[in-house]
Chain A
Amino acid sequence: MTEQTNQNPILTVNNLRVSVEDQEILRGVDLSVNAGEVHAIMGPNGSGKSTLANSLAGRPEYTITAGEVSYQGENLLEMEPEDRARAGVFLAFQYPVELPGVRAWQFLKAAVDARRTARGEEEMSAREFDRMLREKVQMVEIDPELTRRAVNEGFSGGEKKRNEILQMAMLDPTLALLDETDSGLDIDALRIVSDGVNKLRRLDNAIVLVTHYQRILNYITPDFVHVLVDGRIVRSGGPELAHELEEKGYDWVREGVG
């Protein structure tokens, strides 16, 4: 996929600076993601990986102090979080939120319909929605009973993460941001989540995968690996960079920077 010549940019980040509660977390990030690509953002704790993913999804308490972000030719930073979602941006949360009393299928239906309505399409029929939900539920190997329960309420850690991938599958994003989706997963859950992500890889979409560990990259092979340290991308390369990091640790890139 990387050898594509007709590159179709989905996301272009230029010199992005982001502060949270007056503390600067991202200090000038540049990133270009084309259709069909999977990018892994790696970095030690506190490097700003999650801030990057959340800023792109529009988390309100993150203040953009400088830089531009273009998503399919549009100024992403001017869009409300819900408009980003309707335009095809999806964030799989590191800590998925519980929605007491809001049933998972009901929430998914509202989300799917919001995206369709924004595209000028009609809301999905109950029958079509059921069929699609059943298919995706099988794909992420989730207990169908969970879709009848309140979103994430009483779900195990693994179920919550799989539920994020279920939502991703239902919403079929153009740009999927996975924020440490691998953290806290046992090996079976990791395989299921990775399989789900791999099935969603296409030539017309892109995935940005934020992770602390190289482990998930054994299942999802990235086209590019970027190392984020202290709010800046200090190194970019191919999949081999992840293995190098695994071997040498983050101190190695840190020293390189110094």
Chain B
Amino acid sequence: MTTTTLNRYPQYASDFEALTAEDVGPAWLTNLRLHAWGRFQELGLPIARRGNEKWKYTDARPLANVAFGHAPDLEPETGAGRDAVAGAVALPPDWVNLVFVDGGFSPALSSPVDDGWYAGSLAGALDNRQSLLEEHLSRQASFDDDGFVALNTAFLRDGALVHIPRSFAAPRPVQLVFVTTGRRQPRVTYPRTLVVAEADCEVSLVETYISLTDERFLTNAVTEIAVGDGANVTHNRLLLESLDAYHVGVSRVYQATDSSFASASFAKGAALGRNDFQALLDGPGANCTLNGLYFTTGSQHMDNFINIDHAQPHCTSRLLYKGILDGKSRAVFGGNVTVRKEAQKTDAQQTDKNLLLSPEAEVDSKPSLLIYADDVKCGHGATAGHIDADTLFYMRSRGLDVATASQLLIHAFASEIIDTVELEPLRDYLDARFMEAIPDATLPMGRT
């Protein structure tokens, strides 16, 4: 097994060897990385087409077949200057913005905070917050059964850390921007984010993935968020990389008693995108909202694999994902809302809605509830449809041309998710980014 994996992924193996040779981190981190690498050698990437339920509708082989090289630059050149980054993403000056260029933290482009609360690079926290890192890193995102997480962890040497102490309300939103430039190809980056929100704190987070290159690259991102008792965390994840990107994002959220976590994931980029998002509701009274909006066109493939695990009673979860699909693109919605035996009085809703703009676009939507408790309120549903001919005629009969009518309908469809974003600059930015993507003359696919 080990030899096969090594033979299959020689690039990863030699990169890992190079990294280990120059490694100077603390022993626990070195051990963690060695363990993760060992596990990756056993697991490989999830390319099996049979019995691979987690990747049932997404073929990872195109991604596995490219020898993506890791090119760590501890001192990243700022080839991606502030202007280039600012042109691609909303960077409000009153936010804490942490910018990572090709995997490396860019102090020049960032405005970190270390003032009772911390928002900065992981490596920069090794001196003062080592026990926190040792306790939380790799705790939520297990690499036992996930080759991508194993690989990310094996290459873990920097990333973002956000630490909000008990009863503290972060006064500014924190945005993490991961930029891939076109400096060396084909390239892989391993963005790693750890958020520790202690009891009764508040923070608003934005994770943004962009690229400044048309070359193919891989982003293998892992985010871990621990939400303490009574803490309130809002989160937005933006996948806005180029249409040639491969992106595998794994997000793991842990929620304690009476905590509240509300997240919206927006995906517009990537040739092959995967948003694997999992929330564990591990304390009574926790409240979780996972929203999502994905727009795909051309031959894009976007896979949302969203799981909510109700492990304790009296928790509430709301899951609403919406897709707009054009061209020959394909989207997947999968995952489970699991209600364990102990999780009585669970209130859970899981919905996926899709608007198909082209007859060749396809969606595989498989929402699923696994309920082991007997006193719960749960529901789920999925829809997929074209713009309806009656609807279009109704709008045209009021003087709106086909393009205007379609835009109005698509915008309204997307707004339900975009409007949940509380940060106004972000909401405006997303509105503009998604509307610019909508084709001008969308033709009806109904009976006309």
Interface residue ranges, A against B (CB under 8 Å): 57-61, 80-82, 84-86, 90-91, 93, 96-97, 99-102, 106-107, 110-111, 114-115, 118, 150, 167, 171
Contacts and interface: CB of A to CB of B under 8 A. Distances in A.
A45 to B, nearest CB: 20
Contacts of B396: 58, 80-82, 85
A133 to B, nearest CB: 15
Nearest to A170: B398
A77 to B, nearest CB: 15
Contacts of B108: none
- Report whether over half of chain B's contact residues are helix, strand or loop; otherwise say mixed: helix
B401 A82 contact: yes
B398 A107 contact: yes
Contact of A60 (B391, B395, B409, B448): B448
Nearest to A167: B398
Contacts of B399: 82, 85-86, 110-111, 114-115, 118, 171
Contacts of A100: 412-413
Given A100-B412, A110-B404, A60 B397 contact: no
Given A60-B448, A110-B400, A102 B412 contact: yes
A32 B386 CA distance: 39
Given A61-B389, A61-B448, A97 B394 contact: yes
Most buried by B among A81, A85, A110: A81
A182 B416 CA distance: 34
B394 A114 contact: no
A60 B389 contact: yes
Interface residues of B, number: 23
Contacts of A111: 398-400
A102 B390 contact: no
A106 B400 CA distance: 12
14 contacts: A58-B393, A61-B448, A82-B397, A82-B402, A85-B397, A85-B398, A85-B399, A93-B394, A99-B395, A102-B412, A106-B408, A107-B398, A110-B404, A150-B412
Contacts of A93: 394, 397
The 6 A-B pairs at the shortest CB distance, nearest first, are namely A101-B412, A114-B399, A85-B399, A97-B394, A111-B398, A81-B396
B416 A101 contact: yes
Contacts of B411: 101
A102 B393 contact: no
B415 interface: yes
B408 A102 contact: yes
A91 B389 contact: no
Nearest to A88: B399
B391 A99 contact: yes
Contacts of A96: 394
Contacts of B393: 58-60, 81
A171 B413 contact: no
Given A60-B389, A110-B404, A114-B404, A99 B409 contact: yes
Contacts of A57: 397
Contacts of B50: none
A44 to B, nearest CB: 24
Contacts of B409: 99, 101-102
Contacts of A82: 396-397, 399-402
A99 B400 CA distance: 14
Nearest to A103: B412
B397 A91 contact: yes
Contacts of B395: 99, 107
A90 B394 CA distance: 11
A86 B399 CA distance: 5
